[in-house]
Each structure stands twice: as structure tokens, then as C-alpha cells.
């Protein structure tokens, strides 16, 4: 991307059009491992959001002080520091969720989305833009996690955020909250998104064809 981007683009790009999980297929491990309920997805998404924004802030403010050769190691150390903070904060504030997420909080360090944003954006852009970019990407990750977690919890336990939806006769698809459900949910989500994109393309092509035909008709008349 050599073209200059506007601040608005920096913020919005990561949320949907270049969504880290659904489009770029990054950070798959956490987005499948902890999304068996909406609450866990939210906690994981918010923790990652915090680490991403914090690291981007620090990495981009230090970008002129850090020699180019050691920028990746520096980024990793910064990320690891913020992950330690997030780990301790979650343990103190919401111990049940911290227990449910287990080692995956610590594993935010190796989430490639975060290192990717530091390397591609924060280590070479001013602080403000980097913060926007990090917030957008973090929000995109949160959206994807809640989407996957929502599908899995509604289908797999018949509830949303712990509130039962279907009454007591609903037979939950237990497989959806077990590990295979993670793969299947993301797989079918990607397939549905691809189907939607194709449909939109077809409709657009049809509209274009109709427009040209209309022009020809007016010219003929």
C-alpha cells in the first residue's frame, strides 16, 4: 500500500473490509479456542484489544529510538509486557473468566495479528494513526470473535450470554461448543461470506448490464 490513507480509513479498514480473522485469516488459534461462549469471546476480544492498542502506542512512540534491526524483538517484548498486565488484571477482576481462558491469555503474545500490526504499521507511522489502526484492527478481532462465539453458543447451548433462548425442549448441538464446532463454525462463516460476496458481484454486474442497455435504448430512440 503506497497510497496515503486517510485517518478514517486507518480506523475502519480493520473492522470489516480487512478483518483480521475473517479476511486475513490471522489469529486463528484464539478465535477458535475460546469462542465456545459469548462471554469468553468478549473477554478475549477485549484483552487483545487492550494489548494491541497499548503495544501500538508504545511501539510507535519509540519508533525513532529503536534501531531498525531490533524492532521485532522490541515489539515482542512490548507485547509480552502488556500481555502480563492483561493477565494479572483479568485474574484480579474476573477470576472465573480468567480460569476459563486459561493459558490463552498468555498466548496473546504469539497472536500474529498484534505483531503484524506493529511490523506493518506502528513501527513506521505516527502515534495517532497507529492508535486508530490498532483500535480498528482490535475491534475487527472483537467482532469476529463475538460472531463465532455467538453462533457457537446459540446453537451449541441454546443461549446467548447465558440467557436461554429456545425454552427447555431445545436439544443443544453439543458438538458446536466442543473443539470441532470451532472449525465448522468458522468454515461455514467463511463459505457464507464468500457466497454473499458472489451474490453482490452478480447483482452489480446485472445492474451494470441493465444500465448499458438502457443507454443504448435511449440513444436508439
Partner 1 sequence: MGDLVWILLSAMVVNNFTLAMFLGLCPFMGVSGRVETALRMGLANIFVLLMTSLCAWTLETFVLVRFPFLRIIAFIVVIASLVQIVEMAIKKLSPTLFRQLGIYLPLITTNCAILGLALFQTSRGYSLVQGLFFALGAGLGLTLALVLMASIREELELHDPPAVARGMGLVLVVAGSLSMAFMGFAGMGSGA
3-state DSSP call for residue 65? Answer: coil
Stretches 76-84, 132-140, 149-157, 204-212: which one binds partner 1 (CB under 8 A)? 76-84
Is residue 149 near partner 1 by the rule CB under 8 A? no
Dihedral, CA atoms, 50, 52, 55, 61, nearest 10 degrees?
-110
**Interacting span for partner 1 (CB under 8 A) from 5-13, 57-65, 82-90, 159-167:** 82-90
Verify binding: residue 77, partner 1, rule CB under 8 A.
Answer: yes
114 makes contact with partner 1 (CB under 8 A):
no
Least Å distance, CB 161 to partner 1, is 22
The distance in angstroms from the start CA to the end CA of the chain is: 46
Q: Pick one of 8, 17, 99, 198: the residue that binds partner 1 (CB under 8 A).
A: 198
Give me the 19-58 binding string for partner 1, x by CB under 8 A, dash otherwise: ------x--xxx-xx-------------------------
CA distances from 203 to 17, 152, 195, 199, 206 (A): 19, 31, 12, 6, 5
- Report if residue 204 touches partner 1, rule: CB under 8 A: no
Taking CB under 8 A as the criterion, the residue among 106, 127, 146, 154 binding partner 1 is: 106
What's the closest the beta carbon of residue 193 comes to partner 1, in angstroms? 8
In a 3-state reduction of DSSP, which class is residue 159? strand
Angle between helices 179-220 and 127-157 (to 10 degrees): 110
- Interaction of residue 195 with partner 1, rule CB under 8 A: yes
Establish how many alpha carbons lie within 13 A of residue 59's alpha carbon, considering only the half-sphere containing its beta carbon. Answer: 37
Other CB atoms within a 10 A radius of the CB of residue 119 amount to 15
- Kindly state whether residue 73 participates in binding partner 1, applying the rule CB under 8 A: yes
CA distance 99 to 69: 38
Q: Which range, of 44-52, 101-109, 123-131, 165-173, touches partner 1 by CB under 8 A?
A: 101-109
CB 123 within 8 A of CB 60: yes
Select from 12-20, 123-131, 143-151, 182-190 the region that touches partner 1 (CB under 8 A).
Answer: 182-190
Amino acid at each position: 500500500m503506497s497510497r496515503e490513507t486517510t485517518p478514517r480509513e486507518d480506523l475502519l479498514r480493520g473492522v470489516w473490509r480487512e478483518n483480521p480473522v475473517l479476511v486475513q485469516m490471522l489469529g486463528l488459534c484464539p478465535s477458535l479456542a475460546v469462542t465456545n461462549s459469548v462471554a469468553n469471546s468478549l473477554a478475549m476480544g477485549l484483552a487483545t484489544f487492550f494489548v494491541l492498542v497499548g503495544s501500538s502506542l508504545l511501539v510507535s512512540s519509540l519508533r525513532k529510538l529503536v534501531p531498525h534491526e531490533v524492532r521485532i524483538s522490541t515489539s515482542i517484548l512490548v507485547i509480552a509486557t502488556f500481555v502480563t498486565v492483561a493477565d494479572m488484571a483479568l485474574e484480579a477482576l474476573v477470576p472465573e473468566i480468567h480460569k476459563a481462558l486459561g493459558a490463552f491469555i498468555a498466548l496473546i503474545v504469539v497472536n500474529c495479528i498484534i505483531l503484524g500490526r506493529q511490523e506493518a504499521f506502528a513501527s513506521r507511522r505516527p502515534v495517532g494513526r497507529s492508535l486508530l489502526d490498532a483500535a480498528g484492527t482490535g475491534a475487527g478481532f472483537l467482532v469476529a470473535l463475538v460472531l463465532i462465539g455467538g453462533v457457537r453458543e446459540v446453537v451449541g447451548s441454546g443461549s446467548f450470554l447465558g440467557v436461554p433462548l429456545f425454552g427447555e425442549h431445545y436439544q443443544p448441538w453439543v458438538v458446536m461448543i466442543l473443539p470441532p464446532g470451532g472449525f465448522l463454525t468458522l468454515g461455514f462463516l467463511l463459505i457464507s461470506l464468500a457466497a454473499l460476496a458472489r451474490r453482490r458481484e452478480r447483482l452489480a454486474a446485472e445492474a451494470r448490464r441493465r444500465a448499458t442497455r438502457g443507454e443504448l435504448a435511449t440513444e436508439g430512440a
